[in-house]
Structure 1
């Protein structure tokens, strides 16, 4: 059985609320409530209310369906935060060069999905790959080589060294000789100024 609860227009930015949501995602309900209760984050209060609302929704849905649900067995299957509206207040803050910036008040929407099904067999709720599925890079998915760019670059350098040393040897020597010439000129100028 699943139950959903959402809290709209919570005060605070979505970025700050996500820090709290990331702490409780995938946890048992009791464990999540304990984390929220002792969290120093301001968003934790509104998220705690949303979790309690989801628990109440689960109990209500269980009663309607004549199913017994133990609140201790519920866990947060999904929890996410969406950005809400930004209110531009009529207050201003002094800004550089005589300008004034208006204060902004940020809001966010929190959605929590509880489940009473066992967590085994269900992947991580945040969409990341589980331990059973090996990680595959985007380059490998597209059919390209899975080698790292640095290794590829090193292989390219080795290929140019073995291909032809006539043009390849002159370039590093030219760079080295130019650097030595600049250094020598700088030292001569320094000696002249000291005299």
Structure 2
């Protein structure tokens, strides 16, 4: 999903219903918040966590959408906002002895990444 902000140089990507805990995804998101696009790709490829792969796909997709749809240069992008919110539970039943069952709650999360253009951002901040 791409949304233009007031400056028009912002790309928002959203991944919903990712099957992992929000706490585990936040551990990875906290490492990449505020970093440049190329640095983020290097960090995510080398991290040993399972949560880094869906986040890597989301950042890569957001950057490709920014370059294709808005004509932004990928080298000038940085992650201005990254957040993880909890999603709904996936409820399952596990069979137990004597015909009983035990509930299983699988956690899901929603990941939001916002990329901004560094060159446009530096020009706007220099104005009084």
TM-score (norm 2): 0.78
Alignment of 1:64-103 (within 5 A): 69-91=72-94, 101-103=102-104
Deviation at residue 2 of structure 1 after TM alignment? 1.0
Tell me what 1:109 maps to.
110
Structure-1 residue corresponding to 2:61: 53
26, 32, 41: which one pairs with 2:34? 26
Matches within 5 A, 1:143-162: none
User: Which of the pair is proportionally richer in helix?
Assistant: 1
Aligned-pair Cα RMSD in Å: 2.2
Match of 1:15 among 23, 26, 31: 23
Please say which structure displays the higher CA radius of gyration: 1
Q: Aligned equivalents of 2:23 and 2:62: distance in 1?
A: 22
Equivalent residue for 1:137? none
Query: Hey, what's the Cα distance between the residues in 1 that align with 2:68 and 2:62?
Result: 10
Aligned residues: 112
Q: Which runs of 5+ in 2 are unaligned?
A: 1-8
Indicate if the aligned counterparts of 2:44 and 2:56 stay in contact, CA closer than 8 A: yes
1:85 partner SS: coil
**Contact 2:93–2:102 (CA under 8 A) maintained in structure 1:** no
Which runs of 5 or more structure 1 residues have no equivalent in the other structure? 64-68, 122-195
Cα offset, 1:57, TM superposition: 1.6
Q: Tell me by how many angstroms 1:102 deviates.
A: 2.1
The TM-score normalised by the length of structure 1 is 0.52
2:4 paired residue number: none
| 2:24/2:51 contact within 8 Å kept | yes
Shift of the alpha carbon at 1:61? 2.9
Off by >4 Å, runs of 4+ in structure 1: 118-121
